[in-house]
Amino acid sequence: MKKKILVIHTGGTISMSEDTETGAVKPSDTNPIKERTNELLQLADLIVEEPFQLPSPHITTKEMLQIKGIIERKISDDHISGVVITHGTDTLEETAYFLDLTVKTSIPIVVTGAMRSSNEIGSDGLYNLISSIRVAKCEEAKNKGVLVVLNDEIHTAENVTKTHTSNVSTFQSPQYGPIGIVTKRGIIFHHAPTKRECYDIKDVSKRVVLIKAHAGMDSSLLLAIRELGFDGVVIEALGQGNLPPATIEGIKALLMDKIPVILVSRCFNGIAQDIYEYEGGGKHLKDLGVIFSNGLNGQKARLKLLIALETTNSLKEIEEIFQV
């Protein structure tokens, strides 16, 4: 008996075509991937949903919540065995991580996409979708959180990130690598996540801004963020977690207003840590009340803070959430 797999199409390059005259890639009148559903039915009993067709830069937490709702409803009503979501690659890792933090289930949830549109030479969309369905119906994929599958590799939503603007092998997991591979003969997992976390939220109502530190940075942006009434800020700091001394005034102003300040590193690898004790150094910032994230990149730390603020206003509890 074939497993019942929910496929949610949301848009992105995987659902677009290239204009043969201009070379522009844009949405088609019909999703070309949906036209291959009959072929895909050989793999599993598919339930296909298409809640919207959006390029991934148009995706917000509103759409992420919509996807979350569809998954939870189908788990309850149709007793599905797995989920595959097709998504544009620009914000794919963010939707995947949002679902990883908010959907409580043991069944596999797989997010995939494409770097080349359906009619380009070397199109990777259909292949990635087939690979993702194979992973989603695999028993070994259970209890591993949300997975990202492209280019024959299986990554966790927490660690994966887009590393190249156009290469088909763009999705990588710095420091950790993929947790499995897709082969012609089967799905192979060689390691698994050691922890899972999930937060019960119904809405995302807070405002969190993400900014990047640079040489000579001052407090101007930080003070503006305070005046604009944001609920939180994530800073991609220098090195192991340091900021120029001219930012301290702004940091203190935000913390005085009980606005959480989360620190990650702008570096590609490594974890932000409270090591340096000079003005603006990590230890100085930690002593002021800045919260250090346990290895997330900036865009994922922003999502986690948005979710955390739906569950608590306590800076101590938010800090504990960021140490998980």
- Which residues does the annotation mark as catalytic? 13
Q: At what angle do helices 61-78 and 92-102 cross, to 10 degrees?
A: 50
Residue 318 main-chain phi, psi, to 5 deg: -65, -40
**DSSP class of 270:** S
Give the other-Cβ count within 10 Å of 71's Cβ: 22
Q: Can you list the pairs that 63-68 forms with residues at least 24 positions away whose Cβ atoms lie under 8 Å?
A: 63/10, 63/95, 64/94, 64/95, 64/98, 64/99, 64/204, 65/203, 65/204, 67/8, 67/10, 67/95, 67/99, 68/98, 68/99, 68/102, 68/103
HSE of 253, CA atoms in CB hemisphere, 13 A: 18
